[in-house]
Amino acid sequence: MKELEDRIRRDGTIKPGNVLKVDAFLNHQCDVALFDAMGAHWAQLFAGRQIDKILTIEASGIGIACVAARHFGNVPVVFAKKTQSINLDGDQYVSSIYSFTKQREYPVIVAKRFLQAGEHVLLIDDFLAKGNALHGLIDICKHAGVIVEGIGIAIEKGFQEGGSKLRKEGYDVKSLAIVEKMDADTGNIEFATTD
């Protein structure tokens, strides 16, 4: 998606350790017009699929998923939580994932009543690198008996294994921008061709 690639080139920052900072428009400050265009693009890419619900994970996925949902007939968006709270009661699906950005293990929690067996869900997240967060969500989907109809990612780090692993497992992963190479010294960034 050219608009997203252009934006990453313009406002993204590459940091040592393969860190791509896009907090100016994606995951701290949010450009909602861009989110809307992303939603429209995913809707084209997943056209003809049955999508009953969008599943994402707090926090950065929420805004993108909620804005994108408009392009999928305003289906409900469920966001997995990363901490227990007294607001979370009743039966839950719980998985566990390791975050490299937070540098710790944390739970992924979804209340059972918000995933009904047989529902078709679209997973949405801001980043795909090693794929840990997505595997946590997929694990929950398996336990719930819901069908993962597709996975919509804003930015995939193509040089890490998450995307290729998921595609090998048979998931239909549509990343709007796939970073092939990036260089913290020169600021240079190369994208793979995407749909």
- Strand 104-111 vs strand 92-99: parallel, antiparallel, or unpaired? antiparallel
Nearest approach in angstroms of CB 68 to a second copy is 9
Nearest approach in angstroms of CB 15 to a second copy is 8
Tokens read off for 36: 């809307």
* Cβ-Cβ contacts under 8 Å for 152 (sequence gap 6 or more): 42, 45, 46, 68, 122, 123, 124, 125, 174, 176
CA–CA distance, 121 with 112 (Å, rounded to integer): 14
Q: Does 21 show up as a binding residue in the annotation?
A: no
Does 101 bind a second copy (CB under 8 A)? Our answer is: yes
Nearest approach in angstroms of CB 156 to a second copy is 17
Does 24 bind a second copy (CB under 8 A)? Our answer is: yes
Give the Å distances, CA to CA, from 60 to 38, 52, 110, 156, 187: 14, 21, 16, 15, 24
Helix 60-68, helix 32-45: angle, nearest 10: 60
Q: Determine which residue in the list 6, 32, 105, 180 makes contact with a second copy, applying CB under 8 A.
A: 32
Positions in 59-78 near a second copy (CB under 8 A): 59, 62-67, 69-70, 74-78
Q: Determine which residue in the list 31, 52, 139, 172 makes contact with a second copy, applying CB under 8 A.
A: 31
Asked if residues 132 and 147 have their Cβ atoms less than 8 Å apart, the reply is no
**Which residues contact a second copy (rule: CB under 8 A)?**
15, 19, 21, 23-24, 27-33, 35-36, 58-59, 62-67, 69-70, 74-79, 81, 83, 85-89, 101-103, 110-111, 113-114
As annotated, the binding site for 5-phospho-alpha-D-ribose 1-diphosphate includes 129-133
